[in-house]
Amino acid sequence: MAISVNHNTSVLNALHQHTNQRNESDEKLASGKKINKAADDAAGLQISNRLTAQINEAEQRAINSQDNVNLNTVKEGGLSAINESLQRANELAIQSGNPLTDKTAIQSELTQLTEQVNTLAESVLGNANFLASLDANDPSSTQDALANALTEVNQVTTELGANSNVLTNQVNTYQATTVNVSASRSRIQDTDYASSSATLQQNQTLIQSAIISQKDEEARKGLLINNLV
């Protein structure tokens, strides 16, 4: 007599379903994301990707603005050095009006200061001839030239400061955008560890129950076969 043994399809289907669900929970817990592929949540993945693009853009814009602030800071340092040299040159120009001073020594230092200023001005202002030759024998003209140079340096310094303030505000705005959009993306894609852990435990329990049910079914069928033989 032929004997047919049929498996309990509902138990096997349940075992397969719970195993898949457990694997999905494992993946979410391991990756920290509840959306790891389009099949998890196609609409959610699309929104998450769009938010990621916004975050990346804001981060890069913040970097660009901060880099410009840093460049301005370097320029301000150069302008500060120019200002100090111009102030020293102005002191020397005033001293050169004293008949008891050594104008040769004053002229030597004025020449050195002019070279220093022009070297800095080339990198900071793009002008290698920013300051004309200063003459210790003509204090009045030298002071006028220095006054004009100081005015220009102060103007550029003020403009750089204003620009740095604008850029700093931009950095703060972009950083705030990054934080806010990241929070929105997190709510969409990040794993709820408490919920996923509970789901994982539930599926493990269901899998164990399904396995026990399958073993019991196979044991009953085995007993039936023994009785029939």
Write the pLDDT tens digit of every residue in 137-170.
999 999 999 999 999 999 999 999 999 999 999 9
Q: Other C-beta atoms within 10 Å of 79: how many?
A: 20
Write the pLDDT tens digit of every residue in 173-214.
999 999 999 988 888 876 544 554 555 566 566 566 656 665
Q: Averaged over 18-45, what is the pLDDT?
A: 63
pTM of the model: 0.65
Q: How far apart are CA 75 and CA 35, in angstroms?
A: 47
Q: Averaged over 44-73, what is the pLDDT?
A: 94
Binned at pLDDT 50, 70 and 90, residue 3 comes out as: very low
Rounding to the nearest 10 degrees, give the CA dihedral for residues 172, 173, 179, 184: 170
Residue 104 has pLDDT above 70, yes or no: yes
